Chains A and B, each alone.
Chain A
Amino acid sequence: MALRELKVCLLGETGVGKSSIVWRFVEDSFDPNINPTIGASFMTKTVQYQNELHKFLIWDTAGQERFRALAPMYYRGSAAAIIVYDITKEETFQTLKNWVKELRQHGPPNIVVAIAGNKCDLSDAREVSEKDAKDYADSIHAIFVETSAKNAININEVFREISQRIPVLESAGATSGRGFQLGRQASESRRTCC
């Protein structure tokens, strides 16, 4: 079974829950009083996807403005980016759109983008409608999910969807692991069989 390292970065405004999503995914735990990230924190988790092992090298970036300029180091070479917003804060959704723009301009050409509307457990205080966000995500061909790191909702799903969109390695193995040219269709047809 081939082991592939997939660099994944999390982007989004401070306080939307990027680190909490990673903690939930990697450690399956939740801490409401997590400290703001400095620079970026790094974690890994390996999952099996079909005939491959996907080792996610996760760079959870700091949302604070003073680290803004460092972001390119983390999305450079990334196979996927998870952009997170807080469904209870409209402005975090606007920040997300800026991240999408930046990725389109400066990010890797075939990067898989996933949009995560976090804190969906707080739907009473919702400011961003699920439909608006979904429409936006569709318009940029991004994965979309509403998540709750606190209640462990849709966290693993985000990463599984990313796995699905990562093109399989050609079995000939002639080249290295970067063949993102393969379209989404190939992976979608595969989805039915699992």
Chain B
Amino acid sequence: MALQAGPEELGEQVVEEPEDLEDQDASSISPAEEITLPVGHGGEDESEPLLLPWDRFSAWLHCICVVGFDLELGQAVEVIYPHHSKLSEKEKTSICYLSFPDSNSGCLGDTQFCFRFRQGSNRKSSLGCFLETADRDAPVSLKRDQGHYYGYVYFRQVRDKSLKRGYFQKSLVLISRLPYVTFFHSLLKILAPEYFDKLEPCLEAACNDIDRWPTPHPGRVLSLPIMGVVIKVRIPTCYDKPGTSQLVQSTQTDSQVSIVLPTIHEVDLFRCFHPVFFHIQMLWELVLLGEPLVVMAPSPAESSDTVLALISCLSPLRYCSDFRPYFTIHDSEFKEYTTRTQAPPSVILGVTNPFFAKTLQHWPHIVRIGDMKQEGEMAKQMKVRKLKNLKTLDCKTGVYSAFKPFLNKDEDIIKQLQKGVQQKRPSAAQNAILRRYFLELTQSFIIPLERYVASLMPLQKSISPWKSPPQLRPFLQEEFMKTLEKAGPQLTSRLKGDWIGLYRQFLRCPNFDGWFRNRKREMSQKLDALHLEALCEEDLQLKTQEHTEVEKVDLVLKLKDKLTQAEKNHLPVRPGTVSKLQAHIEAIILGLPKDLQGILHKPSTP
């Protein structure tokens, strides 16, 4: 922030250029935690491409829907904003059903919850390529969801005698691919009450605000003006140290002026697990292993919070199977997921309709959350209940499962949390303790895998510029198991138990698959990058002197192809590699006859 002299007659100093929506507001980052992004990721990502109207909006949201209740039609999408956004009929139907609570329980007043549904048609965004770039630095669990949309709902139900139905019932729903649950709920808290009061001009104003937001780029502190307030957020990057938060509260706390959100996605784990916190460790194992799990709760708010909490207790590992924070009998996957002809799928469902107690009776693991208002009753359920005891509506809060956890129970964390309850420790502190506990558990589990997989990387010396890049060694389960004796989770966790058994089952589940595929891709890219760097170090001109024209042309074409691939895949090469290789190519071309030069200089056709 260099000081610039302002207009002289003012005698003031203009300190900062205007319209500084993406300024790295230094005051709001704690310097100790400031992260510098690794260089060499293409380097060009500071400049955003030319964005058309609604492009910025689309980077955040697909659309905003208003879902109301029509006496004749039932639930119906009343408004889609912006008007040009596309939703298939099937998607609209899903949104309709998922935007309203489906249980009889009142939900009087305002309720917020979230759902997730499969994208109906294959829709390609014109921004696709650009958004991928923005997504690259995001942690795996925060990348945009390719096959699904999230719906973030603000539902209002109030008595209104002037209406035939006697109630005003309406939902304002944000449809997005981004899993920023806390952020969108905060946004809805600002937006929805104003909307119910002032209707469409309000949506118009809000969408217009959002369309001028900076794109959701990981690592930057973003100032997002919306309806008279500025929300400040930072989207985490995959380079952040897990468990640290980068935004600190600024001194000013007038929520009518600006709001600092300490997190965009983290749910309050303690509040969500409160009713079943004796079983958190077992739940962690169930989620880790991708076991079919259903959460039965009295309201969509509770079901969606609990499902999201379950997913996020694996962080930084990504939960790879399908999950539905709120699932109804109208869902297009209802049949697929509830059929009794196959074993229950590896999914986590949040439901509220009592009907599911019957439909999903055969499911192996059921989490039952009672009415959270009766908190006195919570946390007495020390024992895991037998499934056969689960009948219908009147079931008590608890975890119903025949699962025998692999690891021994960690009594310390339970005691610590219980003590917190007794001492009335603030919920935020309890949440932090629990989050840290899960993080350490997941890391203890994943570190041996990381270490083994890293050992599958070929040696640097096996990379030769004149051979294709070497392959990764295959993952051999027994070889990995052997490493556990010396370098297993016992190094970082004091928990005892059947870790080996836990790993064996994990290696068969979708979470391992997703994790390994991701690692493999990263490592192959690293190999490609190293190969490219090795090529760069060669004196290509000297090497090619002896070769025929045909061979030289062949080399040029191959190198060009490699460069395009490198740029397309954003290979993590050292800075300067690409330009160096370009210079090499240039030099070889210049050594060729003029007519060939002309041809080779032409941009390559795809």
Which A residues are closer than 8 A to B by beta carbons? Answer: 3-5, 7, 9, 26-27, 38-49, 53, 55, 57, 59, 62, 66-67, 69-70, 73-74, 76-77, 156-157, 160, 173, 176-178, 194
Q: What are 11 of the A-B contact pairs (CB < 8 Å)? A: A26-B18, A38-B205, A39-B201, A43-B18, A43-B19, A44-B19, A45-B16, A45-B18, A47-B13, A70-B201, A77-B257
**How many A-B pairs fall under 8 Å by CB?**
111
A69 to B204, CA, bound (A): 13
Whether B16 contacts A46 by the Cβ 8 Å rule is: yes
Selecting from B225-233, B295-303, B528-536, the interface stretch reads B225-233
Determine the residue in chain A with the shortest Cβ distance to B256: A77
A26 to B17, CA, bound (A): 8
Residues of A within 8 A of B7 (CB): 156
Whether B252 contacts A39 by the Cβ 8 Å rule is: no
Which B residues are closer than 8 A to A by beta carbons? Answer: 6-7, 9-16, 18-21, 27, 194, 197-198, 201-202, 204-206, 208-209, 212, 223, 225, 227-230, 251-258
A46 to B229, CA, bound (A): 17
Whether A46 contacts B252 by the Cβ 8 Å rule is: no
Residues of A within 8 A of B253 (CB): 176
Q: Which 7 A-B pairs have the closest CB atoms?
A: A39-B205, A77-B256, A73-B228, A42-B225, A26-B18, A46-B16, A48-B13
A179 to B47, CA, bound (A): 40
The smallest C-beta distance from B168 to any residue of chain A, in angstroms, reads: 18
7 additional contacts (CB under 8 A) given A41-B212, A67-B201: A44-B21, A46-B14, A57-B257, A77-B255, A176-B251, A176-B253, A177-B254
Contact A70/B212 with A26-B19, A44-B19, A47-B15 known, Cβ cut-off 8 Å: no
A177 to B258, CA, bound (A): 12
A148 to B205, CA, bound (A): 27
- Of B7, B194, B257, B258, which is in contact with the most chain A CB atoms at under 10 Å from its CB? B257
Residues of A within 8 A of B252 (CB): 4-5, 176-177
Residues of B within 8 A of A41 (CB): 208, 212
- Of A70, A173, A177, which is in contact with the most chain B CB atoms at under 10 Å from its CB? A70
Whether B19 contacts A77 by the Cβ 8 Å rule is: no
Whether A49 contacts B12 by the Cβ 8 Å rule is: yes
Whether B14 contacts A177 by the Cβ 8 Å rule is: no
The smallest C-beta distance from B405 to any residue of chain A, in angstroms, reads: 48
Whether B256 contacts A160 by the Cβ 8 Å rule is: no
Whether B15 contacts A48 by the Cβ 8 Å rule is: yes
A153 to B10, CA, bound (A): 12
Determine the residue in chain B with the shortest Cβ distance to A57: B230
A74 to B209, CA, bound (A): 13
The smallest C-beta distance from A40 to any residue of chain B, in angstroms, reads: 6
Residues of A within 8 A of B251 (CB): 173, 176-177
A43 to B252, CA, bound (A): 19
The smallest C-beta distance from A44 to any residue of chain B, in angstroms, reads: 6
A186 to B221, CA, bound (A): 36
A38 to B18, CA, bound (A): 20
Whether B12 contacts A178 by the Cβ 8 Å rule is: no
